[in-house]
Amino acid sequence: MKARTLLTISLISACALSAISPAVEAETLLRAPRAVTWKDFLGVNVQFHYFSPDIYPKQMNRLDQLGLSWIRWTLHWPILEPAPGQYRLADLDAAMAAAKPHNYNTVAYLVGSATFDSTAPQGASNTDQYPPRDINVFAERMTALAQRYPQVSHWQVWNEPNIIWLPQADPVAYYNLLTTTANAIRSALPNTPIVTAGVAYYGQMRGSTGYMLQSMVDQGLASQNIVAAYHPYSEYPEGDSIKDRDFLVRGNALNKTLHNAGVKEVWATEWGWSSYAGPVEMQHIVGLDGQADYTLRRLALMSTMDYQRIFLFNLSDLDQRASARDRGYGLVDLNGEPKPVYVALKRFFEVTGPTLRPADPPPATAIPDDLYAIAWDRPDGSHLLMAWSASSAHLNFPGIKSATLHDPLTGKQTELADTKGVDVPLTPTLQILAWKP
C-alpha cells in the first residue's frame, strides 16, 4: 500500500563528503540523530506460546545469542478466551515462565474480539476482526492479563485497526478503546506504559483520505503519555519506490509530525520481509538471501531516523495457521534453526559492536547518485561507514590509507590498503568499511 507524502523534509545535515551537490547529499548521506545501542533500539516480535516447550527455549537462546533484549508478544483474545470466562492460559503461562529468566523487556499486545463480545454480524467468518461490542470487557481482560504477567513492561492495545477493524476503520472508536483500556490498566497498575496499536504502514485508512495516527493526535494523544506506533512495511528497504526514497520521506515526516505534536516516543512495532516462495501475497518474492539483504539495509536506514524503538517481524517462522507469506518472516525456522537473515544480523552486530555514535562521513570522491552512506564511531575510537549502491560504483577515500571491508551477508572480509587512499567497490547490498584514525 502506498501512502502520499505528508510533508517535505531535509534528511541530512551538512557533512564532510565532497564533490557532491546539496540535493544529492540530502538524499544519500544519512546521519543518525543520536547514538544507537542495538539491544535497546531493536526488538523482535515473538509468539512463544504457539510453539511446543522443546522449541521456544531454542528460540529464546537464539535471541540471546544476538544480544537483543526487547520482545513484542502476540496475544489473541479469542484464542485465550473462546467462551465467556473459559480461559486457555496454560500454554501462555508456561511460555511466560520460560521467558522470565531471560529478563526480556516485554511488550504484549492484545488483539481481536472474543466471539462473545464481537460486533460482527451473524454468520461472519472473521468475527475477531470486528471491534468489541463492549469495550469495557476488552479493557477488563487486558487489565487482568497485565496483573497476571507483571514481567510485561508495556501493553499495546489492538493491532493495525486501520485495516483490521471491520466493516470500516473508525479512529474515534479505536481511540475510545485505547484510552478506556489505558485508564483501566493504569487504575490497577499505576504508571504502566501503554502503546497505541501499531497502525499498518503509515496509518492510512481504507476508504478514507485520513490517517489514523493524525486522528489520534487530534483527539489528544500527546496528553495521554502513550507511545505512538506504526508498521512501515514496503516493497524495498528504501520504500515502495527506490528512486523516490519514499520510506525515508514518509517515515521521517510522520515521526517529525508526531514528535512536534508532543508525542514523546514513536516506535515501529513491525517491519520486515518474508522469505516465502509464493504464491505472491502483496510482497514480491525475495527469498532467503533477499530477506537478509533487505533487513540489513532497512535496519541501517532506521538507525538514522527518529524512532525510539523498532521491532523486527518476526523471531520465528510460523506454521500452517498463518498465510503462506506470513509463515516466512522469521529469523529462525520452525525448528529454531538460523536462517540466512539471522546469520547476517549476527555478523552485522559483531562488526558494529553493541553501541555506535553518529559521525560525519570521511571525504570521498566519485560519489554515485544512488549511494546510501551512514557514518558511525565506535567507543574504541575506530570508525565505520555503512554503504551500498545499486549501480555498484566505487568510492575513493583519500584520507584513509588502510581499512577492512566487511560483507555481513557472506562473512567476507577484505583488507584494503593504498597510500593514495583506499578504493571501495560498492555493491547493491550493505557493506561496512572499518578503519582506525
In the chain, what are the domain boundaries?
36-354, 359-435
As a whole number of angstroms, the distance between CA 314 and CA 391 comes to 30
Task: Report which of 173, 163, 233 is spatially closest to residue 205, judged by C-alpha positions.
Answer: 163
User: What one-character-per-residue DSSP string does 345-404 give?
Assistant: HHHHHHHH-SEEEE-PPPP-BS--TTEEEEEEE-TTS-EEEEEEETT--EEEETT-SEEE
Classify strands 383-389 and 431-435 as parallel, antiparallel or unpaired.
antiparallel
345-358 pLDDT, tens per residue? Answer: 999 999 999 999 99
As a whole number of angstroms, the distance between CA 7 and CA 323 comes to 35
The HSE-up count of residue 318 (CA atoms within 13 Å, CB side) is 18
As a whole number of angstroms, the distance between CA 48 and CA 330 comes to 13
Q: Report helix, strand or coil for 233.
A: coil
Please check the confidence at residue 10 and state whether its pLDDT lies above 90.
Answer: no
- The pLDDT, as a whole number, for residue 3 is 31
Q: What φ, ψ does residue 375 adopt, rounded to 5°?
A: -100, 145
In terms of CATH architecture, what is 36-354? Answer: Alpha-Beta Barrel (3.20)
Mean pLDDT estimate for the chain: 93
- Show the CA angle centred on residue 311, arms to residues 307 and 313, nearest 5°: 140
**Is pLDDT larger for residue 252 or for residue 6?**
252
Please check the confidence at residue 1 and state whether its pLDDT lies above 80.
Answer: no
Q: Evaluate whether 91 touches 49 at the Cβ level (below 8 Å).
A: yes
Q: Evaluate whether 420 touches 398 at the Cβ level (below 8 Å).
A: yes
Please check the confidence at residue 179 and state whether its pLDDT lies above 90.
Answer: yes
Mean pLDDT of 99-125: 97
Residues with Cβ < 8 Å from 296, sequence gap 6 or more? 344, 345, 348, 408, 409, 429, 430
As a whole number of angstroms, the distance between CA 437 and CA 133 comes to 63
Band (pLDDT 50/70/90 cuts) for residue 27 is: low
Class of 359-435 in CATH: mainly beta
Element (H, E) at 138: helix 135-148
Amino acid at 303: S
Mean pLDDT of 337-342: 98
Choice among 19-33, 76-90, 244-258 with the minimum mean pLDDT: 19-33
Please check the confidence at residue 4 and state whether its pLDDT lies above 70.
Answer: no
Amino acid at 217: V
Task: Report which of 136, 188, 178, 127 is spatially closest to residue 157, judged by C-alpha positions.
Answer: 178
Please check the confidence at residue 25 and state whether its pLDDT lies above 70.
Answer: no
- The pLDDT, as a whole number, for residue 6 is 25
Give me 118's grid cell: 464481537
Element (H, E) at 69: none
Please check the confidence at residue 14 and state whether its pLDDT lies above 70.
Answer: no
The percent of residues in the chain predicted with pLDDT above 70, rounded, is 94
In 203-354 the beta strands, taken as DSSP E runs, fall at 228-231, 266-268, 309-312
- Show the CA angle centred on residue 368, arms to residues 364 and 370, nearest 5°: 130
As a whole number of angstroms, the distance between CA 41 and CA 295 comes to 15
Question: Which residues face 281 on adjacent strands?
Answer: 283
Mean pLDDT of 334-361: 98
As a whole number of angstroms, the distance between CA 233 and CA 212 comes to 16
> Percent helix, strand and coil across the chain, each rounded to 5?
30, 25, 45
Classify strands 42-46 and 70-76 as parallel, antiparallel or unpaired.
parallel
- For 408, counting Cβ atoms within 10 Å of its Cβ (0-12 exposed, 13-18 middle, 19+ buried), the class is buried
Please check the confidence at residue 147 and state whether its pLDDT lies above 90.
Answer: yes
As a whole number of angstroms, the distance between CA 201 and CA 221 comes to 19
- For 412, counting Cβ atoms within 10 Å of its Cβ (0-12 exposed, 13-18 middle, 19+ buried), the class is exposed
230-283 pLDDT, tens per residue? Answer: 999 999 999 998 888 899 999 999 999 999 999 999 999 999 999 999 999 999
* Fold agreement (36-354, 359-435): no
